[in-house]
């Protein structure tokens, strides 16, 4: 049985990268190897990056999101997750938005959060390990 993992926004962004081919291939491999979860926050951030940075048209972004959600369970950011993120911010010092991602992963019961934006190898709340999937590239 495959393990469930939580994906930060950057993993989603690299799925469609035209310039970061190694990172794109690594992101695709994560989807093949694991049961992937992410949050509404990550999809919102993904959309913002593709609108602002890459100037991708709305219909193409919707197509990208549609493909992501076929292979990735999307968790809603709840009031409980928001409160937990505030506590995690105080405890670990990550930005509130990073803590929101951590809180979503914890609430989902994942043991791994794939992200290149936080401390690779750090264990959060004794059960969630942050892993940078691109650290070996």
Q: Given this model, what pLDDT does residue 136 score?
A: 82
Residues near 69 by Cβ (< 8 Å), separated by ≥ 6?
Answer: 43
For position 113, which CATH number holds?
Answer: 3.40.50.1010
71: in domain? yes
77: in domain? yes
112: in domain? yes
136: in domain? no
Domain count across the chain: 1
51: in domain? yes
The residue to which tokens 């310039």 are assigned: 19
List pLDDT tens digits, range 112-132: 999 999 999 999 999 999 999
Single out the residue of 77, 75, 97 nearest to residue 86, CA to CA. Answer: 97
What interhelical angle do 96-107 and 40-52 show, nearest 10? 140
137: in domain? no
Band of residue 2 on the pLDDT scale cut at 50, 70, 90: confident
Q: Given this model, what pLDDT does residue 120 score?
A: 97
List pLDDT tens digits, range 78-107: 999 999 999 999 999 999 999 999 999 999
114: in domain? yes
List pLDDT tens digits, range 32-80: 999 999 999 999 999 999 999 999 999 999 999 999 999 999 999 999 9
- Look up the domain containing 66 and give its range: 4-131
């Amino acid at each position: 049985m495959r393990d469930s993992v939580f994906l930060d926004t950057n993993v989603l962004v690299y799925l469609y990268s035209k310039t970061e081919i190694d990172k794109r291939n690594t992101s695709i491999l994560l989807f093949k190897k694991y049961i992937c979860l992410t949050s509404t926050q990550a999809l919102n951030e993904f959309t913002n990056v593709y609108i602002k940075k890459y100037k991708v048209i709305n219909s193409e972004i919707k197509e990208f999101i549609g493909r992501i959600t076929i292979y990735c369970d999307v968790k809603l950011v709840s009031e409980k997750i928001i409160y937990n993120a505030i506590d995690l911010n105080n405890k670990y010092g990550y930005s509130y938005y990073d803590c929101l991602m951590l809180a979503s992963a914890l609430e989902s019961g994942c043991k791994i959060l794939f992200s290149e934006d936080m401390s690779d190898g750090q264990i959060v709340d004794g059960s969630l390990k942050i892993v940078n999937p691109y650290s070996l590239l």
